[in-house]
Structure 1
């Protein structure tokens, strides 16, 4: 019989490091708030941008040590031990360098942009071989470690509709903490660090850079991004979904089985079925997306779940994660 895993040390986030003015100003973060406990950081910000829009400018950040009512994509729920995850939400008010609002069609790329930033943080800060799974998951060695959720805020007047972008990352969850065997955490993957403060700072800095570049390109996924390839090209190389046989489960017990070929200009997944017909699968509609064995064997892999890998795999409210 295996010995029970010891509960890892779970220190609080370093408030001094997160509130450092040099760090915040360097990345254009006007406000960063840390709370000990809340129901959901996404829900808090959605309420905040509705009740007091001026208090939450573009790239404002809210992060919690513990969430009691976190929800993911399609209203999935999850819960992780206190101080075991990075649970963070941002307010986005996307405008270009001239202050012109981005077309709302481009908003569908924001969760993928966040997933890309988180992958970079995991790879470069924790030394983990992270991959992306459409539409909103980050995987390590095929197991879900994080998820993202973008939610549209209230539209009022002629202003830019805000987006609340939630990210949940499993950091020090042990095997017994995981709700399903297809989830994982930074701790379980032999990382270079499990410092949540460093991981959060790494993610925020990378996201801010990619986000500002995306905005200055007017939300064009085919434009060069942050001095490198476009968002579309980067995702084409990083999404494990592309080039695979998949089964997309849709509302009403509908499903599409076929070859995941590419992303369209809105970030939707294009799936070609056995008859050669190309289907457009949107992130907002898909219930589950799983690898499919053409011979009809049982599905493998994880469902497309919300933030983090939990509840649906643990640690994020996702989509928000």
Structure 2
């Protein structure tokens, strides 16, 4: 295993393994495109579904070895070294087995579903125990290893507005290359493998299974899925946010401080304040969500953990 301060080997993705027809067809992936470099895979697919919707059917995948203009939530920008990450976007056109569109209010679960799939892939492929931070991050020991960004495409002439779901996983970033000190990478978490191809295939496999199950349940997060508990239960079980005191900063300098208790049926976070009032915080509204300790109490450096 490489020492964290050395620059590790960064081989390219194995395009033959990723393009294997048996692998793709078993997961219902119609096409998987690997590009050497692009601005942003999400931006490329948003443009693609707008210009030529038929060219990008449900579960089409685009992955890039390097992204120069990647964006996270709130338009945050970062740039990782080439071949150091898994940068992948998927086109989703959610319909059930009969072709009936899912209600758009179920779309808020898609980024949580992706985070769950990535958590399972990290555990089973690299031996890394991960948790979810609401609304769209994957953490290892409290540090961010991956972020997920879902963006709604245009309605077009179809009845199903497409979603472009982007995932960025830090794989071989060294400590010096991390975007912020609160980030981490697969390399830094004592993994059993650093194989980006294996990680990507594992993520896509798990995502496709969970997604198909969710679609066939008409986007009902309370339905049992893929031979186990419901999406709602699975997410709550690994959501590190729940049970914590949090400070939710909302647009317009409004904030809520309280106890994060549960997710509602739309995947929104319920926060109970000191007066016992329950607030619904949606992923689209929250600017920051941080653990919070009252000043003067143990661990309460200026209120932010």
Do the structures match in fold with TM over 0.5? yes
1:255 maps to: 255
- Whole-Å Cα distance in 2 between the matches of residues 165 and 180 of structure 1? 23
The range that moved more, 43-52 or 248-257, is 248-257
1:119 maps to: 119
2:140 maps to: 140
2:207 maps to: 207
Q: How many residues align?
A: 299
CA-CA distance at 1:294 after TM superposition: 2.9
- Whole-Å Cα distance in 1 between the matches of residues 46 and 74 of structure 2? 16
Question: Greater relative contact order: 1 or 2 (C-alpha under 8 angstroms, separation 6 or more)?
Answer: 1
C-alpha contact 1:39 1:69 (8 A) present in aligned 2: yes
C-alpha contact 2:4 2:188 (8 A) present in aligned 1: no
1:99 maps to: 99
Post-superposition Cα deviations, 1:28-56, rounded to whole Å, max 9, x if no partner, equal 00010000000000000000000010000
TM-score, normalized by length of structure 1?
A: 0.91
CA-CA distance at 1:288 after TM superposition: 0.6
CA-CA distance at 1:136 after TM superposition: 0.3
C-alpha contact 1:290 1:299 (8 A) present in aligned 2: no
User: Judging changes above 3 Å, is the alpha-carbon distance between structure 1 residues 188 and 242 closer, same or farther for their aligned structure 2 residues?
Assistant: same
- Whole-Å Cα distance in 1 between the matches of residues 263 and 22 of structure 2? 38
- Whole-Å Cα distance in 2 between the matches of residues 158 and 206 of structure 1? 27
1:271 maps to: 271
- Whole-Å Cα distance in 2 between the matches of residues 263 and 6 of structure 1? 41
The range that moved more, 210-219 or 251-260, is 251-260
CA-CA distance at 1:295 after TM superposition: 4.0
Post-superposition Cα deviations, 1:144-182, rounded to whole Å, max 9, x if no partner, equal 000101000001234211000000000000000012111
Pairing 1:1-321 to 2, within 5 Å after superposition: 5-295=5-295, 297=300, 298-301=302-305
CA-CA distance at 1:115 after TM superposition: 0.2
User: Judging changes above 3 Å, is the alpha-carbon distance between structure 1 residues 140 and 62 closer, same or farther for their aligned structure 2 residues?
Assistant: same
Secondary structure at the counterpart of residue 68 of structure 1: coil
- Whole-Å Cα distance in 1 between the matches of residues 169 and 134 of structure 2? 16
CA-CA distance at 1:6 after TM superposition: 1.4
C-alpha contact 2:4 2:174 (8 A) present in aligned 1: no
- Whole-Å Cα distance in 2 between the matches of residues 241 and 180 of structure 1? 20
- The gaps in structure 2 that reach 5 residues or longer are none
CA-CA distance at 1:300 after TM superposition: 4.3
Post-superposition Cα deviations, 1:76-115, rounded to whole Å, max 9, x if no partner, equal 1111000000000000000000000000000000000000
Secondary structure at the counterpart of residue 275 of structure 1: coil
- Whole-Å Cα distance in 2 between the matches of residues 235 and 183 of structure 1? 21
C-alpha contact 2:143 2:183 (8 A) present in aligned 1: yes
- Whole-Å Cα distance in 1 between the matches of residues 199 and 236 of structure 2? 25
- Whole-Å Cα distance in 2 between the matches of residues 71 and 210 of structure 1? 25
Secondary structure at the counterpart of residue 46 of structure 1: helix
TM-score, normalized by length of structure 2?
A: 0.96
- Whole-Å Cα distance in 2 between the matches of residues 276 and 214 of structure 1? 33
Secondary structure at the counterpart of residue 147 of structure 1: strand
Secondary structure at the counterpart of residue 23 of structure 2: helix
RMSD, aligned α-carbons = 1.1
